[in-house]
Amino acid sequence: MFRPATPLWAYVAQTDLTGKEIVLVTTGNSRFEQSKTDAFASAVEARGGHLVHHVFLRRGRIYWQTSREELLQEVRMRLSEPASVCTP
């Protein structure tokens, strides 16, 4: 699997991010690989930006996924937390 999603990598590769602070929000059913997030942060920095937060939300597997509304509520809650607790 590609994490973050392939279109996001393409966007970063084509965009001038000079001076931009980036918040990466990813969802999944179990875990994320820190090495992928680190590689993404490096790509952002190569384009002039800075990855300031990564929020990973466990959505669950197909038969017991959280609803869209629950997911959005958790995103809002996690983004309102101080920066030090936004990473999993």
Cα-Cα end-to-end distance for the chain: 19
Position with higher pLDDT, 3 vs 77: 77
Return the number of other C-beta atoms located less than 10 Å from residue 3's C-beta.
19
pLDDT at 39 over 70: yes
Average pLDDT over residues 2-10: 82
Question: Coil, strand, or helix at residue 23?
Answer: strand
Domain regions of the chain by residue span: 21-85
**For the whole model, what pTM was predicted?**
0.72
31 against 78, higher pLDDT: 78
* Section 44-69 average pLDDT: 85
- 50-60 pLDDT, tens digit per residue, is 999 888 887 77
